Amino acid sequence: MAAVSEMSRLRHAYNAVERRVAPRAEELVRTIEFAHAVAFAARVRRRLGGQVGAGTARLWHVANLPAGSDVQRLRVQIGQLDREVRRLRLQLAAQNQASAEGVSDGGADPAEPA
């Protein structure tokens, strides 16, 4: 019962803080300055992420280990191979079905000698 009371007090405290903070936060995120700041942060993150990624890839390669970009490239290749194998299986199944229909629809009976 004490745990429920504690959770109730925490919930009331959270609601009180949220009632005061939420309207101000809503005003902030709707400003053009906030939009510019988020766009700038995204550009910086993308640029730094690319530089950091390239540096860590070089470190992994120095240790003769695959980097994340290598693994991603291999995943793409495996996906392409999987699609190709699936396509070839469908073609083979269609050819097998066509040849089976050709034998039963008027082809020579394999049980009779030629």
pLDDT in tens, 40-51: 999 999 888 888
How many independent structural domains does the chain possess? 1
For 45-57, give one letter per residue: b (16+ CB within 10 A) or e.
eeeeeeeeeeeee
- Give the residue-averaged pLDDT of 82-104: 92
What's residue 4's pLDDT? 72
Angle between helix 32-62 and helix 68-104 axes, rounded to 10 deg:
80
Which of 6-10, 15-19, 88-92 reaches the highest mean pLDDT?
A: 88-92
Specify if 106 maps to a domain.
Answer: no
Specify if 87 maps to a domain.
Answer: yes
Q: Is residue 53 within 8 Å of 68, Cβ to Cβ?
A: yes
Specify if 47 maps to a domain.
Answer: no
CA distances from 71 to 11, 74, 85, 89, 103 (A): 45, 5, 21, 27, 47
Specify if 83 maps to a domain.
Answer: yes
- Give the residue-averaged pLDDT of 96-113: 69
Specify if 46 maps to a domain.
Answer: no
Specify if 73 maps to a domain.
Answer: yes
Q: What is the mean pLDDT of the chain?
A: 87
**Which structural domain range is residue 85 located in?**
66-100
